[in-house]
Structure 1
Amino acid sequence: MSTSRPTARDVAQRAGVSRSAVSMVMNGTAAGNVSAAAQKRIREAARALDYRPDPLGVSLRQQRTGIIGIVTDEIASSPFAGKLISGVNSAAADRGYLSIISDIGQTAFAGPGTVREEHAIRQLIRRRVDALILATNGLRTLRVPKPLLTLPAAMANCRDAEGLLAAFIADEREGAQRATEHLTALGHRRILFIGGGDDEDAIPARLAGYHAAMTTAGLEPLPRVAAGWEINDGFTAAQVVLTGTERPTAVFAANDRVATGVLLAAGGLGLLVPQDLSILGFDDQPHLAEATVPGLSTMGLPHFEMGRQAAEHVLNLLDGQESKTNGAMIHCHLTLRDSTGPAPAGFSY
């Protein structure tokens, strides 16, 4: 039994066409040269034979490597935003591309210098990637490293302060507004926003959405309790605010880790969730939001869509399609679990 790889000639014989017709279909130049029926037969024959064009030969003919480079701070090495990479990979695979990642650490893009970032980008360019995507673990406004402007490029979950590149980010303000509206619709009047630092763009956007929903409902927004981003931050803050004389009936946490800390503090204080206190998170963090008891209601970030749309943008640029977008604000999704419920009856404030 032969173990040799199928060739374009094998596909041509099976489909009843010429070898050149197979090459045109596989190289994307069949339009106007090969009939639709013949193209269909060729693709069916290629699938049946598990035929794939030699990537080196394709690269030489097209002067491309078929690779998209992704430069991130810590997405690949953290459990948080991995779906963004999945979105890039999905769009790339649909167009016959592969993606490779340079994950350069938590402190990347954090300061005024871009030495490490530029080094990573230059290394990918030297390896002949066709396009580049810059992605961050949390929403940020960045100064774009100059080497990024030498190839088709886009940004995902971050944006360019000068507007030089298309940016694909979550509409966090609108998401926070809908999250707060969910709580007001349940009858909550004292809704407290807890958590977050001042080093990223997410907090101003989420606070703006919270304030908009409270104002629309005719309610007084409560002063934000700044507490950081981690479980222990939410736990420490909640131990104070949940023992005050006018405790909230609902907490809107800056992210799911803070929400988990609030949940733990509420349990330690003998409060039932959601009967005594509703808790709503943000992010829909995998392996956390659905794993708490009760599961966290949360406004999820569209990581997959950010990655997919950024990849489609650079691939369209590579195909010579004129860009008509500076990016997109992508809709967040509300996932309801068991940590939110009606406001407790009889609350006088």
Structure 2
Amino acid sequence: MNRKATALDVAKLAGVSRSAVSLVLNGRGDGNVARESQQRIREAAAALSYSPNKIALSLRNQQSRVIGIVSDQVVTSPFDGNIIAGADAVARSHGFVTVVMDTELDASRDESAVETLLDRQVDGLIYVTVGLRPLHVPPNMARVPSILANCFDERPDWRLPAVIPDEVRGGREAAEHVMALGHRDIAFLAGDSLTPAAPRRIAGYREAFGAMGTEVKEDWVLQVGWDIEDGFHGAMKLLDGVHPAMRPTAILCANDRLAIGVVLACYRLGLDVPQDISVMGYDDEFRVAKTMVPALTTMALPLREMGASAMTSLLAEVEATSNGKNYDGGLVASGETMVPCRLVLRDSTGPVPAGR
């Protein structure tokens, strides 16, 4: 069996010292090693198929190269698991690995989950939730660089930054989409206000009307719930027995399941979607929005993007700490990073019906 190349082999081939090889391949060559020598070192390493020993490098840098992720239910969710996928992709691209613990919505397990990861000497922590919500941050997260994804610190004197979807902008862009199709009689169905997503999406809807100089019809803004049957009953309340000239021409929904219920109600009443009424969802739920008939126009939550953004920010702090920066017990408060949602155009929205 061929012997694996060493840093000394690279040094001999490149005609430099072993310390120069270490500096260049560990990213500290600039200012320490001449550029011509750096190039020869990289070419020699490629020729010998040499790469630094990551375990030894981690020990020298006092890093485990491991990021801990705590989730409330994301691991078992086929939907919000994309947040972790986005975070993990960034971690791997930087030579880190992730370890995930799921508390299965049991908040009493938060602190012990964090402690378990800290016992594994993780370099940083991310807390990820299914659905936007305030979080009672486990206090032991302050022992390493930490950040939140899809949730935000509920403390008034919060320290941890958060990466969350821009729900207000998403609600506004949803309304602007149907307005661009000529709709002005637009209803909005949402869940309850216990989750921050619903009022923020409604606020965006109101912003769009404000920009148009048009008043919102308050009896067309209904908080009915989050499930298919809630969408069905909400739509029946808006449409059943109402003269065609007095009903909305578009119904925006705060999630895709509500939109499915609205479409079913339209079919029950003999209305065509989108010829008679345009229907729009939110979330772009996997195996739901795209396969619905008609396929749902929706606002896609930026799940992978949130995970990637959170991990990028966290790794920057982890690397800065490893390079001699004093760690002061948590990332310096930097507010909320808003990641925009994305409009996904499909078949459930269309021009305003003739005569409206």
Is TM more than 0.5 here? yes
Structure 2 residue 38 is the aligned partner of structure 1 residue 39:
yes
Report what 2:263 is aligned to.
263
Tell me the alpha carbon deviations over residues 10-43 of structure 1, each in whole angstroms, 9 at most, x when there is no partner.
4445555443222222323222222334434444
Deviation string, structure 1 residues 61-118 (Cα, Å, up to 9, x no partner): 111100111111112211212221122122212321111211211x24xxxxx43100
- Inter-partner Cα distance in structure 2 for 1:180 and 1:15: 62
1:232 aligns with 2:241: no
- Could you tell me which of 135, 156, 171 is aligned with 1:142? 135
Match of 2:173 in 1: 178
Please give the alpha-carbon distance, in whole angstroms, between the structure 2 residues aligned to 1:324 and 1:45: 44
* Structure-1 residue corresponding to 2:182: 187
Could you tell me whether the CA contact under 8 Å between 2:281 and 2:297 is conserved in 1?
Answer: yes
SS in 1 for 2:152: strand
Question: Secondary structure in 2 aligned to 1:101?
Answer: strand
SS in 1 for 2:32: coil
Instruction: Give the CA deviation at 1:207.
Output: 0.9
| d(CA) in 1 for partners of 2:166, 2:132 | 10
Whether the 8 Å contact between 1:193 and 1:225 is mirrored in structure 2 is: yes
Q: Tell me which moved more, 334-343 or 222-231.
A: 222-231
Q: Number of residue pairs matched?
A: 340
Bigger drift between 197-206 and 8-17 goes to 8-17
User: Which residue in 2 is equivalent to 1:346?
Assistant: 355
What's the CA shift for 1:301? 1.7
1:5 CA displacement: 4.2
Show the counterpart of 1:29. Answer: 28
Aligned partners of 2:354 and 2:273: how far apart in 1? 14
Question: What's the C-alpha RMSD, in Å, of the aligned pairs?
Answer: 2.3
Q: Where do 5+ consecutive residues of structure 2 fail to align?
A: 326-331
Which residue of 193, 204, 213 corresponds with 2:199? 204
Q: Which amino acid aligns with 2:56?
A: G
- SS of equivalent to 1:320: helix
Residue type matched to 1:237 in 2? G
Hey, what's the Cα distance between the residues in 2 that align with 1:259 and 1:44?
57
The SS at the match of 1:281 is strand
Counterparts in 2 of 1:335 and 1:43: CA distance versus 1, 3 Å: farther
Partner of 1:111: none
Instruction: Tell me if 1:334 matches 2:343.
Output: yes
8 Å Cα contact 1:215/1:221 also seen in 2: no
For the Cα contact (< 8 Å) 2:255–2:282, is it kept in 1?
A: yes
Give the Cα–Cα distance (whole angstroms) in 1 for the partners of residues 264 and 100 of structure 2: 36
2:100 match: 101
Name the structure 1 match of 2:147.
154
Q: What amino acid is the match of 1:121? A: V
Kept in 1, the 8 Å contact 2:159–2:333? The answer is: no
